[in-house]
Amino acid sequence: MDIQTSLLLLAAGIAGGIVNALAGGATLITFPAMLAAGLPAVIANASNAVAISPGHLIAALADRGKLPPPTRRTISFVLVSTLGGAIGAGVLLLLPEHLFVLPGPALIGFATLLFAFAPQIQSWTIGQQKTATLPSTRASAAVLGLACVYGGFFGAGLGVILTAVLSVTEPNDIRAIKALKNLLATCVSLAATLIFIVEGAVRWPETLAMLLGAMAGGYAGGHLIRVLPAPVVRQFVIVAGAVMTMIYAARYWL
């Protein structure tokens, strides 16, 4: 890996860490950076997942006081999330490269739309809390499992999806839902990254460069949140996601 590539991934990691701290959506910046560094799409996705995975764990620990007690339902959700993340990662690694590349622009576009409409989704989830009745654990786990398989496969926008799912399956205060979302996203991320590492799907020089940047960016974002308006960051991420969707659609579809 040359110095230019190292600097690109470091910068993308810093930007992603700042974006995650302020508004979320780092994958829309970091995954295309891995592709731009010349990594094959599947390796780029796996390496990106490892590079940004600490963010979910840090978020879960930051609000651990709101984590739910270890009831049978919560434990089942943790197990389903872990299994879903592992299945998604397994599907990614079994998929031929060209079959992942083909829907790649659509996945980036889907994640961009999720991020763009996240405020509306959040408002809808708060409204659902007032009227939702608690579904059975099996029904909740089935819906959650599908979301977590997607998370292990690609992962961008997983937080928005989990928040929407949990608002229906777990009518509760929004902070508790966010804490549970962070816990389950951590389970998905850890399961997927463990499989990626064991299967040798991670390019460590690129991953470590981005990981270092993401940690520095996350720290910086904790300070920038006081002065940098989150809406400006959101607009930047949306524009970046839209541009990346068009670039990779032109590369892989035309």
Q: How confident is the model at residue 34 (pLDDT cuts 50, 70, 90)?
A: very high
pLDDT digits (tens, 9 = 90+) for 54-107: 877 777 777 677 777 888 888 999 999 999 999 999 999 998 888 888 888 888
- Residue 155 zone, left/alpha/beta (φ > 0; ψ -120 to 50; rest): left
Reported as a single tens digit per residue, the pLDDT across 121-157 is: 767 666 655 555 555 667 778 888 999 999 999 988 7
DSSP track, 80-114:
HHHHHHHHHHHHHHHS-HHHHHTTHHHHHHHHHHH
Tens digit of each residue's pLDDT (9 = 90 or more) over 210-251: 999 998 988 887 777 677 776 777 788 788 888 888 988 888
- CA–CA distance, 39 with 97 (Å, rounded to integer): 12
Report the number of distinct structural domains present in the chain.
1
pTM of this prediction exceeds 0.95: no
Q: Distance between CA 152 and CA 154 in Å, rounded?
A: 6
Q: Give the domain extent around 77.
A: 3-253
Q: What is the amino acid identity at position 130?
A: K
For the chain, list the strands marked E by DSSP: none
pLDDT of residue 253: 87
Per-residue confidence (pLDDT) for residue 36, from 0 to 100 = 92
